[in-house]
Structure 1
Amino acid sequence: MLRLRTSILTHLAIPSSSAYPCSSPCRLLSATAPPISPNPSSFAVEDYLVGTCGLTRPQALKASAKLSHLKSPSKPDAVLAFLAGLGLSGADAAAVVVKDPRLLCAKVDKTLAPVVAGLTGLGLSRSEIGRLVSLAPANSRCRSIVSKLDYYLPLFGSIDNLLRPLRRSNCLLRCNLDKVVKPNVAFLQECGLGACDIVKLCIPAERILTTNPEQVRAMVACAQRLGMPPGSGMFRYALQAVAFLTQEKITAKVEYLKNTFRWSDAEVALAVSRNPSVLRRSKESLQRKSDFLISVVGLEPAYISRISVFITFSLECRLRPRHYVVNFLKENGLLDRERSYYAFCRMTDKAFTDKYICPHKEAAPHLAKYYAAACRGELPAQ
């Protein structure tokens, strides 16, 4: 594999003025493809996948079932050379083959090179195309990927923003643009969301764009029932919170919030309107935070409903350690004035350390060590 890659990269030394080494597939193939085995019938796909592509034996066994028709290494060698030309390492190429073994059967001159030329025309660099191929090798064999990126790139604003959801799923590249994605985008824009809002909405939940348009309308209606109509500041957060949750699940979670935090109907409505993401918190997490905030810290349920962002803070890394630090400072007369619990919970870790830990190095030399241990879940004995 190393010898093959060395040979490939040697032949791919192309002047920097060339945008893509694979823009001339015929030259690339003639320069990099190893000679075809003199005895094609002796070509063993599984051994090739292990020895040349770098797959493990179990991976090769699984992938070879889709490549049983290959009779020589000429086409796979050309594809590997092509991937090397996009900047993919041997490990990257192996991962691509595991995801999509059939890529090794693709014709470089008629399939892969035209796709890369089209993506180059959209302004993508060689390394950006290589990253795209690594995440979506099967889609990279289809020329339709060019027209889809021609639509997605202006919407997402950059290839980096687009690649983030593609790391989880390729549904954006598989979905029908005209029948699904474009109608959903148009509807969300009618709801007052700009392109930037849509991207922020879909980077963590890209399926909102690729799901049935009628279901997206149902999600919007659900967000409205929570008191956040289209155009309101919290609408995007509400839509993200209720996405793909049934009305029954939302109703059950609202009831659980009421019981767990001892809220009235008005208080739970206020909490959800100010922080819709509480609807996606697990019951275990909600119960533990309720026990701590009400029973240990002593906060009133009404206060928590007004500042429901408390529920999104980490209990182990933020709420509990900071509570113990501030209590220690109070008990030892080291806190100059009373501050609300929210005031020090909202700070970044650096700001909290600078304000509540560092000034007391002499009076409490072990406080920093204890705070760090508490943040790791190792509560000190005292």
Structure 2
Amino acid sequence: MLRRIAALLRHPPPPPQRFFFLRLVSGKKEQEEEDDPSPPHFMVGYLVDSCGLAMADAVKASRHLKHLKSPQRPDAVLRLLREEGLCEPHIRRLVVSSPRVLVADAAKTLEPKIRALRAAGFSRSELAQLISANPNALRLRDAVRKIQFWRTMLGTQQKFLKLAKNVHLLSCKIDGEDTPILSFLRGVGMSSADIAKIVQRRPRLVSSRLKRIMLIVEQVKSLGVSPGSAMFLEALSTVSNLSEATLESKSRLLRSYGWSEDELLRAFQQFPIILRLSEEKIRRAMDFLLKEAGYEPSYVARRAVLLGYSIDRRLIPRFYVLQFLKNRGLPGGDNDLLTAMMISEKKFMAKYLAQVQQALPGIVDSYPEVSTMRNAI
């Protein structure tokens, strides 16, 4: 199952000869720059003194500004930005990511765009946050229309601003009322609510190439997760971030605990997040469930969500509470571990831990400290 994902998502690297050539060219260029005896452009010092850039960032940014003969335009741009509420960290972030903003015409180009953003409902502080995080807000002619599109989809201004740092969102092509990718996702059966969640969780996904999204969706469907299912959103998020190396490593790890190919597939269908868990977390949870708690690999495969809970604060403590109740013949001791894991802490304490407290006064004060639970229960 995991290898099938990798085969479809793998992007073959350029031939080794090309990498070797690129290293030679890059190394030669870097050496030439290091050996260049000419004095630095005046904008290097300007970027350090007026914009607060570190020397390395200033040198890099100055390469885009070598045609400038005076600081007249940069002065006008910085003056406008400060008047509009951008503080030094905002300006520094903006100039590092988009140094060419300093050569824009402050009066004819930037000021009208800033007024349009203000008219779109951004306060001074929100405007500063937006511009510094996403220079496309000033660079693109249709930025306001695209901002309004994403803001409407997400529901609130704050949700949009949280995603503003993804510069590709404002670069997406919008055809009428939708983008090609969002239109495709609607077409395969995803609801508007789930699409909004995808935008919030994986903004790079909805701003990538349509062919890539189509490939990922088809792969998720081939793994038995349909667009209308509750797990499709998580499966899509998971598969879109998988690399071949991660797939192979986690496949080997899960198989080393006795899972079959079919069990891996079922586990993914029930709990796609399993492939986003760290190997350390998987290993610790499986070691506990199989070696200490005594469950069979097939039991865990059918309840893969167990691996996603906190090991020290939920999985281990709750297991030992159930063990205590079972050993004493008390109500709840024979309940399935997953049933006890899924309820809230408040309900668990009332339904299960309260009975342990009667037999072991003071145990609540130590719960859920793992060593205490092991020793006491």
Q: Quick check: TM above 0.5? A: yes
Aligned residues of 2:314 and 2:368 also touching (Cα < 8 A): no
Q: Which residue in the other structure is 1:273 paired with? A: 269
2:222 equivalent among 201, 204, 225: 225
Find out whether 1:147 has 2:139 as its counterpart.
no
Find out whether 1:208 has 2:205 as its counterpart.
yes
Equivalent residue letter for 1:243: S
Residue pairs, 1:109-258, within 5 angstroms: 109-167=107-165, 169-178=166-175, 182-243=179-240, 245=242, 256=252
Q: Which residue in the other structure is 1:64 paired with? A: 62
Equivalent residue letter for 1:310: L
Aligned residues of 1:111 and 1:142 also touching (Cα < 8 A): no
Equivalent residue letter for 1:294: L
Q: After superposing the two structures, state which structure 1 stretch, 169-178 or 128-137, moved more.
A: 169-178
Q: Which residue in the other structure is 2:284 paired with? A: 288
- Please state whether the residue corresponding to 1:115 is helix, strand or coil: helix
Distance in 2 separating the partners of 1:133 and 1:379? 52
Aligned residues of 2:90 and 2:129 also touching (Cα < 8 A): no
Aligned residues of 2:48 and 2:55 also touching (Cα < 8 A): yes
Deviations 1:267-289 (A, max 9, x none): 43332221122233344443332
Q: Which residue in the other structure is 2:95 paired with? A: 97
Distance verdict in 2 for CA 1:265–1:73, change over 3 Å: closer
Aligned residues of 2:172 and 2:179 also touching (Cα < 8 A): no
Higher relative contact order (Cα pairs below 8 Å, separated by 6+ residues): 2
Q: Which residue in the other structure is 2:45 paired with? A: 47
Q: After superposing the two structures, state which structure 1 stretch, 262-271 or 348-357, moved more.
A: 348-357
Equivalent residue letter for 1:46: V
Equivalent residue letter for 1:85: E
Aligned residues of 1:258 and 1:265 also touching (Cα < 8 A): no
- Please state whether the residue corresponding to 2:305 is helix, strand or coil: helix
Equivalent residue letter for 1:303: Y
Equivalent residue letter for 1:189: R
**1:185 CA displacement:** 0.9
Distance verdict in 2 for CA 1:62–1:380, change over 3 Å: farther
Distance in 2 separating the partners of 1:268 and 1:332? 33
Tell me how many residue pairs correspond in the alignment: 332
Gaps of 5+ in 2: 1-40
Aligned residues of 1:227 and 1:273 also touching (Cα < 8 A): yes
Equivalent residue letter for 1:297: A
Distance in 2 separating the partners of 1:250 and 1:45? 44
Aligned residues of 2:257 and 2:297 also touching (Cα < 8 A): yes
Q: Which residue in the other structure is 1:10 paired with? A: none
Distance verdict in 2 for CA 1:140–1:302, change over 3 Å: same
**RMSD of aligned alpha carbons:** 3.9
2:342 equivalent among 323, 332, 346: 346
Equivalent residue letter for 1:52: S
**1:114 CA displacement:** 2.0
- Please state whether the residue corresponding to 1:87 is helix, strand or coil: coil
Aligned residues of 1:148 and 1:173 also touching (Cα < 8 A): yes
Q: Which residue in the other structure is 1:5 paired with? A: none
**1:335 CA displacement:** 7.5
Distance in 1 separating the partners of 2:90 and 2:48? 14
**1:363 CA displacement:** 5.0
Q: Which residue in the other structure is 2:297 paired with? A: 301
Distance verdict in 2 for CA 1:221–1:44, change over 3 Å: closer
Distance in 2 separating the partners of 1:115 and 1:193? 35
Distance verdict in 2 for CA 1:75–1:369, change over 3 Å: farther
Q: TM-score, normalised by structure 1?
A: 0.71
**1:171 CA displacement:** 1.8
Q: TM-score, normalised by structure 2?
A: 0.72
